[in-house]
Chains A and B, each alone.
Chain A
């Protein structure tokens, strides 16, 4: 073998071994999840300063800030932390750098408003974000929808919610549910139906996986809350007619009060408790339910369940 060939062979072997070793080492560095409080700080909150620093490439910087916002929320959510204090400034900087980027507004409407641990507990910031969005994108029905949604879920302000849905319904390109939602808000009727329609529209109108997942969880919770309410009503009716509580769900079926054995969204039959209450089999597996829980148990959320499943350090 000539000297040149030997050198080539050794260099190739070193290159391949180093490449493999480098990938393995980098993976190990990633596994350390080096996110210290210092790294999680947002040093520059002034969009004016950022605009000057990025030499006018605001679009790219907005993309980077948006990705940071999603990653920040995902990371905090994953570790079960209820601390989302940087979410509002991250979304604010993103939208001020690029006011026509719509996903951050939707994200803010869904995750800034709800109370910790499922959101940042800042409905006021969410509302300001949406107002800013509407100011810069007055033809986007989704923003009016998100504003109405926020008024309904966080502020329980039906008049303002109706107004937001109505303004969105008047746009040339809108969603078929907008006028119905506006009417329902005005009548302030059928809480379950209205909430279902809202979450369904949220699911339909976004491509963001986290928002979709959140909407599905709420739709499942609504189904449970509604079914438990109905079943407890049936149990009460049974008691009034028979003079005693049923011993099982089967008693309700045999007496002709219900047809079949009702099941929760996970396919588990509901449990009838000795005091006439209805409970779900596994309360931790259905997030956001407010009914069908054992007495004293708080409504489970993805964050609380994630926090419980994290290994204790």
Chain B
């Protein structure tokens, strides 16, 4: 990786740690250990199901919230504090700044998810007393959640490159909601015809498809995940992030920072 991109990425990560972003891990640990102990007391035969569902949902939601609220300030905060001018004056180029910020943010989330994943598996071990083969689906579900973060980070960065933090958070969150219902959206598109059908299909394919990344239910039931889906989801997340970051670079290149 370009050393300047690495430098921006590392500083973004350091800033996140300084902003006490990783403190969410404490809340996560309390939530999951509380749930694991409580569910063991009050439920019959669904302890594993509850821990996986609750754990993976929390990993996903905590991560998305961090991605949105950190991502939207990545560019605007630098402009506001006037630190961007120092960074861009030399020798960092604008595209390197955008790409570096993206890697820094995703790096923060990967580290965050890594610790949360340890929490999920510890809670699983507590309720089931052993690991099973079906737990590999939990690992794959966690991988898909990280892929989901790549897209959310890229979207937050895209909006941050031209909009205010408030509007960026609204846009990103709205796209996250729409993307989570992407299956239904494509279902609607299939039911329409003519110009409406073409427009609906276009929109359905343009918005991010988060529903394919959500295999929490299958993971909870220990259903196998096809290898093809892992390959397709990986390709899709990388392509969609590349597309969004390219858009952010194009906008940021043209932005008048005076």
Contacts and interface: CB of A to CB of B under 8 A. Distances in A.
A32 B250 contact: no
Interface stretch (A11-19, A46-54, A154-162): A11-19
SS of A interface (majority):
helix
A30 B218 CA distance: 17
A35 to B, nearest CB: 10
Given A11-B95, A11-B246, A15-B243, A29 B223 contact: no
Interface stretch (A1-9, A111-119, A281-289): A1-9
A26 B236 contact: yes
Nearest to A30: B186
Contacts of B93: 3, 7
A23 B202 CA distance: 10
A257 to B, nearest CB: 48
B220 A8 contact: no
Nearest to B248: A11
A38 B240 contact: no
B181 to A, nearest CB: 8
A215 to B, nearest CB: 19
Interface stretch (B63-71, B83-91, B227-235): B227-235
A38 B209 contact: no
A11 B98 CA distance: 12
B50 interface: no
A11 B253 contact: yes
Interface size range of chain B in the complex: 20 to 34
A22 interface: yes
B226 interface: yes
Interface string A52-87: 000000000000100110110000000000000000
B188 interface: yes
B236 A29 contact: yes
Contacts of A34: 212, 226, 229
Interface residues of A, number: 31
A7 B251 CA distance: 12
A22 B246 contact: no
Interface in B43-79: none
B249 A7 contact: yes
A39 interface: yes
Contact of A19 (B209, B235, B243, B250): B243
Contacts of B218: 36, 38-39
Interface of B: 93-95, 181, 184, 186-188, 191, 205, 209, 212, 217-218, 220-221, 223, 226, 228-229, 232-233, 235-236, 239-240, 242-243, 246-247, 249-250, 253
23 contacts: A3-B93, A7-B93, A7-B249, A8-B253, A14-B246, A18-B242, A18-B246, A19-B243, A21-B235, A22-B240, A25-B236, A26-B236, A29-B212, A29-B229, A30-B186, A34-B226, A36-B217, A39-B218, A64-B181, A64-B184, A67-B188, A67-B191, A70-B191
Given A18-B243, A29-B229, A41-B217, 17 more contacts: A11-B246, A11-B249, A12-B246, A14-B243, A15-B243, A15-B246, A21-B239, A22-B205, A26-B236, A27-B205, A29-B212, A29-B233, A32-B228, A34-B229, A38-B218, A39-B217, A67-B187
